[in-house]
Amino acid sequence: MSGIVVALTGGIASGKSAVERRFEARGVHAYDADAASRAVVEPGSEALAEVARVFGPGALDDEGRLDRAAMRRRVFDDPSARTTLEGILHPRIRDWLREAVAADTGAYCILSIPLLVENHRHYAWVDRVLVVDAPEAVRIDRLVRRDGIDEALARKMIAAQASREDRLAIADDVLVNDGDEANLDAQVEMLDRRYRTLSL
């Protein structure tokens, strides 16, 4: 790793992916916790074998891959199952991300972690935290339109995550994504310059 590591986070429907894409368009590598979570359970992996051992054959689909829908239902209904699954996957996801970052040769890189607040102590090694922030009303509107859900469910999904205040409390930088795409571009450009300077 030659430069700094910027952890990117934000609540659901805040626009993390849009921000991540803009950094990538500037030649910055982004390593995503969601991509890591898929990589660590590829067929033949230790993690997949352990999930199958602990949760039984119902954890796998007909092709021997993790049955994500079945496991989602299972952990949603049983908090202890969720804790067990996270205990298997999360350390491996963190290792995958750490290795990806260690091999990066850019001026800096982005580590995209949706649940950073909830797992902050495990990422104490990052150099900066960038929070994508959007007003709750904007996020609710995005969720309703994006996922075809009603406002009550959108509010419930937002309430299930860490609070806006908790996210802002760990932020070194805040990018406001309230719907103006041009404003988003300008903020990413400014942050890109800042991170390149800090990496010198």
Query: What are the structural domains of the chain?
Result: 1-28+106-200 (3.40.50.300), 36-105 (3.40.50.300)
- Cα distance between residue 78 and residue 64, in whole Å: 23
Helix axes 136-147, 151-159, angle to 10 degrees: 120
- What are the tens digits of pLDDT across the range 117-135? 988 999 999 999 999 999 9
Q: What is the pLDDT of residues 30-73, one digit of tens each?
A: 999 989 999 999 999 999 999 999 999 899 999 999 999 889 88
Write down the pLDDT at residue 2. 66
C-alpha span between 168 and 129 (Å, rounded): 10
Asked whether 141 and 134 are in contact (CB, 8 A), the reply is no
Report pLDDT digits (tens) over 84-103: 999 999 999 999 999 999 99
More confident of the two residues 181 and 25: 25
Q: Give the whole-number percent of the chain exceeding pLDDT 70.
A: 99
Q: Does the pLDDT value for residue 1 go beyond 70? A: no
pTM tops 0.85 = yes
Q: What is the mean pLDDT of residues 25-29?
A: 97
Question: Over the Cα atoms of the chain, what is R_g?
Answer: 18
Q: What is the mean pLDDT of the chain?
A: 93
